[in-house]
Amino acid sequence: MKRYFFVILVMLLAAGKNHAQVQDYKVVFDLTSKDTNVHKAVIRWCNEITSAYPDARLEVVYYGQSLEMITQGKSVVPGEVTRLIHNRNVTFKVCAAAMKRWNIDRSQLIPGVATVPDGIYEILQKQREGYGYIKAGL
């Protein structure tokens, strides 16, 4: 009987550990590439993660040459970005300094994309909050 109780206890503890890991699914994607295949990959990753883990929190941070992904009329994935923006656990943030460098006005962004003063600092903040870091690329 003790052995049976011990096996059940171990199984419950293991299930609790797995549940805690899923609750803490937080990722910040660092996107600097103008490669549209990378843009499509980021959308695919966000879709796969949110499908498997609906409570996962994802943030995509844009700077460098990646801004076309979230610019109206230039993005190859505008509908997917718009759909993901409506998921309360997915955010898209673009560096205001990069927007200035590439002469992109806030009005040119896909509606719902937020701006931050400094994309690199935003990524550092998310890491301090316990987000895992993924450099988006192929």
Q: What is the pLDDT of residues 86-138, one digit of tens each?
A: 999 999 999 999 999 999 999 999 999 999 999 999 999 999 999 999 999 87
116/105 Cα distance (integer angstroms): 13
| DSSP reduced 3-state for 73 | coil
Global pTM value: 0.80
Of the two residues 103 and 22, the one the predictor is more confident about is: 103
Q: What is the pLDDT of residues 35-89, one digit of tens each?
A: 999 999 999 999 999 999 999 999 999 999 999 999 999 999 999 999 999 999 9
Q: Is it the case that residue 14 has pLDDT exceeding 70?
A: no
Residue ranges of domains in the chain, CATH in brackets: 25-135 (3.40.1260.10)
For the record, the structure tokens of 86 come out as 């409506």
105/96 Cα distance (integer angstroms): 9
Per the rule left: phi > 0, alpha: psi between -120 and 50, beta: everything else, 103 is left
